[in-house]
With several copies, the nearest count.
Chain A
């Protein structure tokens, strides 16, 4: 190595050096890094409070190098509400899994979004309950086998329901400022996701910002990490389409540009 080489990709400041407990190839790690990069990019590490959920990312308080609060299962948006109502000057994000956010925490996420709480929600959707060993999640695909849908999720004969699309659901509310879904399933997607997360954090002062990551759970899917990524690309993206569903600021900017023109 040459001392003059420039490191173009380095370890983010806002991520602690503690190795994670995540399984090999689990994309929680990528999601964490993107959040840390966003915090670095905006230079807000010292005024950020993160809130971790109950789920595989329950130990995220070890991994982010900023003040961290461990919330009860599903209630991170309520905890974040408490944080921001007390300290509107802080930057606050929640990091939640699909069981946490879309099952037990459904009321909390919807109402925080509807109140337009100025927080950033990072939603890691791996279509399964990772931490408890692979039970069905609200986002589990139809037909997907899990430890509590042993014959595959069956909305017809077993009344197990359909995958819930959180971004689309939240998009019916007036509150949110920014709603996006991004995949972490390829490097190109991750580059895009990085911009999306940064956008979300940068709009936090305006109100509720939400980024859903389509991720994986190689372990509970019973797949190798690369295979899991490919499977998700093939199967999950059609159910959970990628995109920025709402960007109130961009819309406003466009509208005023149109007016001026």
Chain B
């Protein structure tokens, strides 16, 4: 499949650093809140993801896994 990320919603604290770090601007803080009460991040348009890991490295809570799709 294609490049994409997975965000562990329960680890996410909704800090928004991944949002600010994504060069494709395809991460947003969602409307829903997780068990800890945070608006967790979601990847809104995986198709544009380039698997650059910018989001993942900037996440203090190591909530993001990045996958590179097979061409």
Question: Do the two chains touch directly in the complex (Cβ atoms below 8 Å apart)?
Answer: yes
Binding site for B on A (CB under 8 A): 1-2, 4-12, 15, 19-20, 22-30, 33, 186-188, 190-191, 194, 218, 224-226, 229
Distance of A146 from chain B, by nearest CB (Å)? 22
Which residues from B are CB-within-8-Å of A27? 60
Q: Is the CB of A190 within 8 A of B57?
A: yes
Q: Is the CB of B57 within 8 A of A30?
A: yes
Contact of A7 among B17, B58, B66 (CB under 8 A): B66
Contact of B65 among A11, A218, A224 (CB under 8 A): A11
Known: A22-B60, A24-B14. A8 touches B67 (CB 8 A): yes
Contact of B61 among A7, A29, A188 (CB under 8 A): A29
Determine if B20 is an interface residue (Cβ-Cβ < 8 Å).
yes
Q: Is the CB of A25 within 8 A of B16?
A: yes
Q: Is the CB of B64 within 8 A of A9?
A: yes
Distance of B63 from chain A, by nearest CB (Å)? 9
Contact of B66 among A2, A8, A23 (CB under 8 A): A8
Which residues from A are CB-within-8-Å of B15? 24-26, 218, 225-226
Question: In B19-48, which residues have CB < 8 Å from any A CB?
Answer: 19-21, 38
Known: A15-B62, A190-B58. A225 touches B17 (CB 8 A): yes
Distance of B17 from chain A, by nearest CB (Å)? 5
Q: Is the CB of B68 within 8 A of A186?
A: no
Identify the closest chain B residue to A28 (Cβ): B60
User: Which of A29, A191, A194 has the most B CB atoms < 10 Å from its CB?
Assistant: A29
Q: Is the CB of B65 within 8 A of A10?
A: yes
Which residues from A are CB-within-8-Å of B10? 19
Known: A1-B6, A8-B66. A187 touches B54 (CB 8 A): yes
